[in-house]
Structure 1
Amino acid sequence: MSLRELFRHRDLFVGCIAIGRISRVKAHDTLAATLFFPLGDRSGEFLSITVQGYDYPTAGRCPALDSAGLCSIHATGKPDMCDAVPLDPLVRDSLQHRVLATRARGAGYIGADCIVAGTQGDAALLVAEGRIVDASARAAVERRRTAIATERELWGRAVFDSLHANSAQGTDALARIPPGGYATISIVPALLAIAGLSAACRELCVAYIASQMALIERNIAQAIARRHLNDRPVTQELRGFLASYVRASEVLIESPAALPVSSNRLREIAENYFSGL
């Protein structure tokens, strides 16, 4: 998801920062320059720094599904990633056929058989000859990439720089992320970067934190009621998110002058990007 989408659905999805490790093969030069960050001196490897929804795996379903199993936000701001699936906006277009093949092999556990090679009746052909040929799928992928590129500028660079603040220690931590894997951290560093862009952005962040703290408390209470041992690591991480929100609230409400000052250009981009929420 994007931060804009998380702001819109702040009472539904718990947000976090996801840091992924991307190879040059998947990224390609064009995507690498607009979406990713270089992973230290490791030639050909990059980091993706995005935000995403975070939930208990034992919940077994997207929190946006209603009691009938249908998407409750389909007409009120469904995330761009939902429209882009089964394609992957973080992978260059010429390798999307590999993405589809991987998804097809892994879809058996939910009984899905909708991804097949070649043409099938009136079903949409998604990719051909290294291109995304379905217009709606291509538009969804581009919307997602545009959001990532915008947020890379608004807060991603600040988070990337903070990860390297401790020099070798930060670089080593990033290097421990396995190839193709990712790590999750609190979304607070992104919020602090956004809050410093304008007063309106700071108000958005304050409202978001209040909603997130209430949502996390509800989710933890539900997990405790489920009494599932596998929930414990997630509960521990969510409690860490709560603690980081408390500290962030103190800065945003009591010491806003401590926030970094942004340029007029970034302020204008942010207010346009987050307008209408």
Structure 2
Amino acid sequence: MTLAELFRHPDRFIGCIAIGRVARRRPGERLRVGGYETVLDDSDCAQFDALGEALLYRAGDTFSIVAQGFDYPSLARCPALTDDGRCSIHLQGKPLTCEVVPLDPLVPDSLQHLVLAERAQSAVYLGSACIQEGERDDAPLLVNEGRVADRDARDALARRRRALEQEREVWTQAVFDALRADLFDSPAALARIPAGGFLTISLVPALLTVAAASERSRQLCIDYIDSQLGLIERSIAQALTRRRLDDRPVTQQLRGFANAYRHAKERLEQAAASSEDGLRSHPMPARTGIEAIETYLSGATSTH
């Protein structure tokens, strides 16, 4: 999700920052998924590098930094789904990433067939039969001969990539810079990022970044924190009634998120009451104006 999408649904999705390690691709590298194999050439790697320059972050290794919805894995469902399995926000700000599924905006269009092949074999998609090879009368052909054939899918990929670029301007570049010394330049800290997974941390570094833009942005962040504290409290209460052992680590992390939110709210309120800006030491977005950030957080514009 984007930070703006999380602000649009503060009582539905628990927000966090997800940090992942992204493999750097080299010419001659073989990508094999099931019966498909591709040997990357200079053009493939140039496309990966172009996406990386626009959407990723490099400090020795390459990293992704995104806002993400966070919930108990044991629930195995999106918080926006109704009891009958339908999306309750389909027409009210559904996250753009939902339109991109099952494609991957961090992979060049010419290699999306490998993404589909891998998705088709994953446990999340097994049994759904929603990814099949060949043309069908009842479903669109997504990729064909090294290109994204479906117009809606191409458009969704382009819009998701633009959204990630906007995230970089609004907050992710500033957060990367703020975390560089303690995380990205520290081998011991980087060991916390699991292979093929994400390190999830509180959304607070993103909030402090955008809150530094203006008084209006600061108040929007305080309002968001209040909503999140209520949502986290309800989520933990529901988990305690389920009495699942595998929920305990998530409950502990959610309590950590709540504690970080409380400290952040206190800092924001102190900054608002003081003639000295208590957030001045926190990095601000580099290239995004105050009005644009306020509009972005308030949801006055849409990524659609």
Calculate the TM-score normalised by the size of structure 1. Answer: 0.91
Counterpart contact for 2:24–2:62, Cα < 8 Å: yes
User: Which residue identity lines up with residue 220 of structure 2 in the other structure?
Assistant: L
| Runs of 4+ deviating beyond 6 Å | none
Decide whether aligned partners of structure 1 residues 147 and 167 sit closer, same or farther in structure 2, where only a CA change above 3 A counts. Answer: closer
Q: 1:58 to 1:107 in 2, by over 3 A?
A: closer
Residues 152 and 175 (structure 1 numbering): CA distance in 2 closer, same or farther, change over 3 Å? Answer: farther
- Distance, in Å, in 1 between the alignment partners of 2:177 and 2:142 is 37
Query: Do the aligned partners of residues 3 and 124 (structure 1) sit closer, same or farther apart at CA in structure 2, a change above 3 Å counting?
Result: same
Distance in 2 (CA, whole Å) between partners of 1:264 and 1:101 is 38
Q: Does 1:234 align with 2:250?
A: yes
Which residue number in structure 1 is paired with residue 20 of structure 2? 20
Say whether residues 1:32 and 2:15 are aligned partners.
no
Identify the residue that residue 226 of structure 2 maps to in structure 1: 210
User: Is the Cα contact below 8 Å between 1:195 and 1:202 reproduced in 2?
Assistant: yes
Alpha-carbon distance, 1:167 to partner:
7.3
Contact 2:10 2:224 survives alignment (8 Å): yes
For each residue in 1:26-55, what CA deviation from the matched residue of structure 2 results, as whole angstroms up to 9, or x when unmatched?
8711111110000x23xxx41000010000
Structure 1: give runs of 5+ residues left out of the alignment.
Answer: none
Distance 2:184 2:89 in 1: 43
CA distance in 2, matches of 1:92, 1:111: 27
Q: Greater shift after overlay, 52-61 or 121-130?
A: 121-130
The size of the alignment, in residue pairs, is: 273
Query: Residue in 1 aligned with 2:166?
Result: 150
Q: Are positions 1:267 and 2:290 aligned together?
A: yes
| Residues 276/93 of structure 1: CA separation in 2 closer, same or farther (3 Å cut) | same
Tell me if the contact between 1:155 and 1:193 (Cα under 8 Å) persists in the aligned partners.
yes
- Between the aligned residues of both structures, percent identity stands at 53
Aligned residue number for residue 75 of structure 2 = 59
**Do the aligned residues in 1 keep the contact of 2:120 with 2:126 (CA within 8 Å)?**
no
2:222 is the alignment partner of 1:201: no
Deviation at residue 8 of structure 1 after TM alignment = 0.4
Using the alignment, how far apart are the partners of 1:220 and 1:121 within structure 2?
45
Q: Which stretch shifts more, 52-61 or 119-128?
A: 119-128
What does 1:149-168 correspond to in 2, within 5 Å?
A: 149-166=165-182
Aligned mate of 2:140, from 119, 124, 146: 124
- Given the superposition, is the C-alpha separation of residues 19 and 243 from structure 1 closer, same or farther in structure 2, using an over 3 Å criterion? same
Which residue identity does 1:117 align to in structure 2?
E
Q: Give the match for residue 3 of structure 1.
A: 3
Which of residues 168, 182, 203 in structure 2 aligns to 1:187? 203
Task: Give the SS at the match of 1:19.
Answer: strand
Q: Does 1:72 align with 2:88?
A: yes
Q: Name structure 2 gaps, 5 residues minimum.
A: 26-44
CA distance in 2, matches of 1:118, 1:105: 16
* Preserved CA contact (<8 Å) 2:13 2:70: yes
Check conservation: 1:21, 1:47, Cα contact below 8 A.
yes
**Cα drift, residue 143 of structure 1:** 1.5
CA distance in 2, matches of 1:110, 1:213: 35
Change (3 A) 1:210 1:108: closer
Structure 2 letter corresponding to 1:182: F
Q: Check conservation: 1:201, 1:271, Cα contact below 8 A.
A: yes
Which protein shows a greater Rg? 2
Q: Kindly indicate whether residue 278 of structure 2 is the aligned counterpart of residue 258 of structure 1.
A: yes
1:245 aligns with 2:268: no
Q: Distance in 1 between matches of 2:136 and 2:193?
A: 39
Asked if the contact 2:135–2:141 (Cα under 8 Å) also holds between the matched residues in 1, the reply is: yes
Q: How much has 1:139 moved relative to structure 2?
A: 1.2
Q: CA RMSD in A?
A: 2.1
